[in-house]
Structure 1
Amino acid sequence: MTSLPPKIIILYASYGDGHYQASKAVEASLRSRGVTDVMLLDLMAEAHPLINGLTRFVYMQSFKTIPSLYGWVYNATKELPQEAPLLEVINSFGANKLQQTLRETRPDLIIHTFPQLALPRLLKKTGQSLPLANIVTDFDLHGRWIHAGVDRYYVATDDMKAEMMNRGIPEDRIRVSGIPVKPEFARHSKPSDGFLPEFLQGLVSESSVGKLTVLLMAGAYGSMQGVREVIERLLALGRYRIIAVCGRNRELYRGLQEQLRPHPDVHLMGYVEQVAELMRSSDCIVTKPGGITLSEALACKLPMFIYRPVPGQELNNARYLAQKGVASISRTPAELAQEIDELFGDESRLTEIRQKIENLRRPEAAEVIAEDLLQQWFAPKRAELVLT
């Protein structure tokens, strides 16, 4: 007797790139275990493209124009129970698309990497039964992730597990896995001094070999002047090489090209795929505190410097990692440059931070999640497949 591999749907959202990256990491781990029928679905984009486009625009603009308002709304709704009218409304979006998808694909498991929980209500309404798993993609817990209809939670830390238990989630439903990142971030080997990825070699002057490398994920910031000043202040210290990644922010890339004088210790980049290589080749990272990026940096054992975090989950992420002693929060370029220079001027503190990072990092999170999912719900089916 044979059995088909399970069908799994991963629901994500395109508010930033992190939820998609987490979904891809889990998908890759599932496929490596023989689960080939994995579907990724951006529920809001598919179900309500106009609303999705509008809310994405408002979400991104809020970071630039009214970040304090976004942070207030986020924190004011953190403790809302699942039956709160606001959450009922939010979770109603996408229900019709989900019902259609379930009817067409007949999945065996649904995974959320974004807290758009239309499914528990839909299952209750239709009388269907389907296992649900939530992968929390931040170091901060918001009430949107919590629902009595969810069977399994994968969380970043023991602290979050304890917080969930305090909010009534049974311990046996919670697994401390870490936040999933792609396999290339887990393959960490610290390069020798002066090493640069092959795609950067020849572009950075030999005079900067041996200097400490600061990876500045600059595309996240709307203030061009602030990023330029950060670079200039680090250059003035004379011991740093800066790789500034502008991502898809073309305006920032062009502006920095125009405003910065050519310098052998500075390399500007646009959008790059080889982020893992850059992280493994760096001594520290300056970044926005999205849960995925922070987990990638932890996997690569990088001290983290958080610059002007936006109120909401990102500021809360930053505060958590700062409390754990693996990240510093700075509000001005001068403060940021000072924090970086003080760290690398104190070898004992640097050693202590690296040890704390080692204790906190969970680079195999995607593997842990995939294995646990299959053991939790599909162990007999896997055994049949092996025997046949």
Structure 2
Amino acid sequence: MLIISASMGAGHDGVARELAGRLTRDGAQVQVIDVLRLLPLRLGPLLRWWYRTTVQRTPWIYEIVYQVFFVRRSPVSPLARLAAPRLRALTTREAPAHVVSTFHLAAQVTGLMRARGTLTAPSTVLVTDFTLHRLWLHPGNDRYLCPTPGTAHAATAATHRPATAYAPLVRPAFHTRGRPAAARTVLVSAGAWGVGQVTRTAQVLAASGRYTPVVLCGGNTRLARRLDAAGLGPALGWRDDLPHLMAAAYALVDNAAGLTCVEAFAAGLPVVSYRPIPGHGRAGALAMARAGLTAHAADATALLAELDRLADPRHRARRTAAAGTLFAAPAAETLIRTDDPARTGGA
């Protein structure tokens, strides 16, 4: 099996690694590749640099790009056409029995190739976002696996291809539940790159006197130094013990609607979205709130109010139970290991 991910942050790669591990334990031979490496002329690293720099320094530009190129209807991304020749060469050489995409550009490439007949293996798109933008949706793909039944129905409506909800792919360690810390430690997630207005979030929490912010800065060492200098620590870099931190935390304040949110769902840790990054971050945060999986705080007052509500055991239990229902869906690896998805029926 071939899994196509993307080194855009850590979420898509994290999902791909977990899926690859499960499929390998089931006896499959699995190869994971980065779709950015399929692009010629070093366009992949350039694309990653542009995205990271724009989100950090001029997020309003990324919001415009997202609305124009991700949300509105338009032809297949030209990047997909550029990546297709290298993927065709790889699949011709390796002859995978199944191809799975965990990133929207990869889904565009595989959909384009399936429609042209240049990819013979069935193609499954494993959607990692809680909101569907058009780049996930190419009708050439055989099947879609989506994080919720609602997104699965939307995928079928847009592509007329089978779509099914799947249980989120997180490490088993996240399913270990702990007791909320008495000090009301609140984890603040800034993603793998440490982006967004998390310094302001930490200031709001610290100034309340009721919560202690612990900011997850990812690989952004400058952010960690700024927070420490401002007395807004602890500010943590990349951590492998996130399951342990979540098990002891009171809540997670998130700004990206990505893998860290899903890991918190598995850990039974309530999530409040605040100051989400533009584009897919804001869209995903609003979609999760509409589904009752998280709360979305529009301002600092609302943020503290949402956190205060979590002190009520009944409210807390309702919130974590709603998120926990996601894991009742079928396992992604089980769905992927079925026969040719083009013959397995609808959503």
TM-score strictly above 0.5:
yes
Give the Å deviation of 1:109: 1.0
Which of the residues 105, 109, 116 maps onto 2:94? 105
Q: TM-score by structure 2 length?
A: 0.87
Give the Å deviation of 1:124: 4.9
Aligned residue for 2:188, secondary structure, equals strand
Partner of 2:120: 129
Per-residue CA shift, 1:284-327, capped at 9, x if unaligned?
10122333222111111221111211232211111112123332
Aligned residue for 2:234, secondary structure, equals strand
Per-residue CA shift, 1:166-191, capped at 9, x if unaligned?
32424xx1111043222322x332x2
Aligned residue for 1:167, secondary structure, equals helix
Partner of 1:252: 223
Distance, in Å, in 2 between the alignment partners of 1:169 and 1:285 is: 37
Which of the residues 155, 179, 188 maps onto 2:176? 188
Give the Å deviation of 1:108: 1.1
Partner of 1:56: 48
Structure 2: stretches of 5+ with no match in the other structure: 342-347
Structure 1: stretches of 5+ with no match in the other structure: 1-7, 195-209, 379-388
Partner of 2:67: 75
**Cα RMSD for the two superposed structures:** 2.6
Q: TM-score by structure 1 length?
A: 0.78
Counterpart code for 1:179: P
Partner of 1:205: none
Contact 1:244-1:268 within 8 A present in 2 as well: yes
Q: Does 1:24 align with 2:17?
A: yes
Counterpart code for 1:71: E
Counterpart code for 2:322: K
Give the Å deviation of 1:149: 1.8
Distance, in Å, in 1 between the alignment partners of 2:253 and 2:55 is: 18
Count residues with an aligned counterpart: 337
Which of the residues 254, 278, 295 maps onto 1:311? 278
Give the Å deviation of 1:56: 1.3
Aligned residue for 2:86, secondary structure, equals helix
Runs of 4+ in 1 over 6 A off after TM superposition: none
Q: Does 1:91 align with 2:80?
A: yes
Q: How does 1:185-334 map to 2 (within 5 A)?
A: 185=174, 187-189=175-177, 191-192=178-179, 194=181, 210-218=182-190, 220-223=194-197, 225-234=199-208, 236-237=209-210, 240-260=211-231, 267-334=234-301
Partner of 1:160: 151
Contact 1:12-1:112 within 8 A present in 2 as well: yes
- Report 1 or 2 for greater relative contact order, CA contacts < 8 Å, sequence distance ≥ 6: 1
Q: How does 1:325-344 map to 2 (within 5 A)?
A: 325-341=292-308, 343-344=309-310
Identity within the alignment, %: 23
Bigger radius of gyration among the two: 1
Q: Does 1:175 align with 2:175?
A: no
